[in-house]
Chain A
């Protein structure tokens, strides 16, 4: 923490003293967790968009086996040898990648940590969303819409994954605010569509009346909707991530709401932060993107492909 702060202070000092701007063409390595989750695709698109805008080059590093710890570790080995100017890093596991972070730090390559906060290591900054708030606010939105009462089911993500832990805390705290709502079951769909569908089918057998579903990601929310539709039953479903599919489902009136995880903006801002650091401009020690719940009333701005969206402006997103 202290070290991170001092890095920021040093950067600000350097910027104010010299005021010099480095030449363009910096090379930035971007690490994401997998090639399959649309969220990380949005992160990559955002990073490329920002790099293009600021005349830098990004190289994407993605494990071929989704979320593979050994694979990301060996990619770090490769990158440390190639020595890019900066690294944008999402750990596939916030604890297990600590040795990898240590390697990048030892090589003196500046690192921007995004999406999942790494447990240890020194970073220029952290850029991410707040999973707890996402869970709390989408959960709260569902319960408010239900009038503060009803039978609720939670579909959990992968146990032990930090995003899931925080989102679950959020969901459960939202439930505490509404004592008349009843949590029937909290079961894991492992962030997978098929499992969420099957779990929902099974739960509908035990519970004749389910009023609301909180799903820890969009794929599971969509799986739950398919299960409900198949059983000709209805319940309000909320999920998290704000993927294209979920936004279309909100538009079609199927999904009640999805919490925006800002994949594209995270990608944009992380590359901007790395470049600002390299170009001796100030970077705050963390940028937490505001949580917004996307529903029928406000989905329009999201209803475009992320690649057509264009990066947000740094000064609009980052309050110095």
Chain B
């Protein structure tokens, strides 16, 4: 077999899989609107979307990595370093634009580093990005020395806390990158090649796909998205410290997997990742609205995540998720 038949997925197929996955979101939303009068208000829904945006932006690049059967454990650390670098550049230079450039460049460089470790040194992605996580943490701790950078100009803050037509800016970014992600994965040869690499790397190589170059690309994209997420983070919180990104790593990976992307590669969608991000956000939102005791919150989170994915598996028997 020297020609690879790619599973050319159509947009309607993408909608179908996402519609199935949305079932869990809809069930959650109905339950929450019955339990809390505050849930189904414009203010709260805007709130949920804005909170989901950060996790989605981080997880969207990661989705491509996982589609190649790879993994990027360094995204949280990447957010930390990129935010700290961007933040200190903005404070030193007073130029938000320069800060944005530095944040994105830092994200890209870390991602590129991962890509090279995975391809040139042929390290397993888990090890390569786990190593990178520590390198990046180390650089951040050294750079920050326990300090906190805070206070940024309003022009920059708008990126995270601003509105356009009463919709938060991060929500626009989320939809823009959702569209780019779907378009890239579905309608470009490169996107299709990424699915092929994940499905069968040997076949992909034999059929002439430049596997290494595509892998470097996806890790760099994942790093760049972490850089972008770091800017949103910085602009929303108006401050940066060394450990800000770490609590985001596992939720981002979870969002991708809850959204139906397989850790074994070749199967999944960027829009599914949005659903995953929404589920995780709704859980926190719901627990706060219902004022659930903090002792129970981890348990509730776990049960809802398991139920949400079970619901998807049960209503979609036999098929591999996301196809």
Residues of chain A whose beta carbon lies under 8 Å from any beta carbon of chain B = 34-38, 40-42, 44, 64, 66, 156, 159, 184-188, 190, 192-195, 197-199, 201-203, 205-206, 219, 222-223, 226, 229-230, 243-245, 248
Contacts and interface: CB of A to CB of B under 8 A. Distances in A.
B47 A41 contact: no
Nearest to B146: A41
A192 B36 CA distance: 26
A197 B236 contact: yes
Contacts of B200: none
Contacts of A244: 147-148
A98 B244 CA distance: 29
Nearest to A200: B288
A74 to B, nearest CB: 16
A185 B293 CA distance: 9
Contact of B241 (A38, A184, A188, A230): A38
Interface string B278-300: 00000011011101001101000
B237 interface: yes
Given A202-B289, A206-B288, 18 more contacts: A36-B243, A38-B148, A64-B138, A185-B291, A187-B287, A190-B247, A199-B288, A205-B38, A205-B41, A205-B44, A206-B36, A206-B289, A219-B241, A226-B236, A226-B237, A226-B238, A230-B161, A245-B239
B237 A35 contact: no
6 contacts: A186-B294, A188-B297, A193-B237, A202-B289, A205-B39, A244-B147
B146 A38 contact: yes
Interface residues of B, number: 43
A206 B291 contact: yes
B244 A193 contact: yes
A304 B202 CA distance: 61
Describe B's contact surface by its main secondary structure.
Answer: helix
Given A36-B141, A206-B36, A201 B47 contact: yes
B181 interface: no
B147 A41 contact: yes
Nearest to A35: B141
Interface string B206-239: 0000000000000000000000000001001111
Interface of B: 36, 38-39, 41, 43-44, 47, 50-51, 54, 134, 137-138, 141, 144-148, 150-151, 161, 233, 236-239, 241-244, 246-248, 284-285, 287-289, 291, 294-295, 297
Contacts of A184: 291
Nearest to B151: A248
Contacts of A193: 237, 239, 241, 244
A203 B39 CA distance: 11
Nearest to B39: A205
B47 A243 contact: no
Given A199-B284, A206-B288, A40 B236 contact: no
B294 A222 contact: no
B295 A185 contact: no
A138 B66 CA distance: 47
Given A185-B288, A202-B47, A202-B284, A64 B137 contact: yes
A206 B38 CA distance: 5
Contacts of B147: 38, 41, 244
Contacts of B151: 248
B72 to A, nearest CB: 18
B51 A201 contact: yes
B230 to A, nearest CB: 12
Contact of B146 (A36, A156, A219, A229): A36
A38 B148 CA distance: 7
A35 B77 CA distance: 14
Contact of A187 (B50, B247, B288): B288
B146 A188 contact: no
Given A199-B288, A202-B288, A205-B43, A36 B242 contact: yes
Contacts of A187: 287-288, 291, 294
Counting chain B CB atoms within 10 Å of each CB, which of A35, A156, A184, A243 scores highest? A35
A278 B161 CA distance: 54
B146 A35 contact: yes
B294 A195 contact: no
Given A41-B146, A201-B47, A194 B288 contact: no
Contacts of A190: 247
B288 A35 contact: no
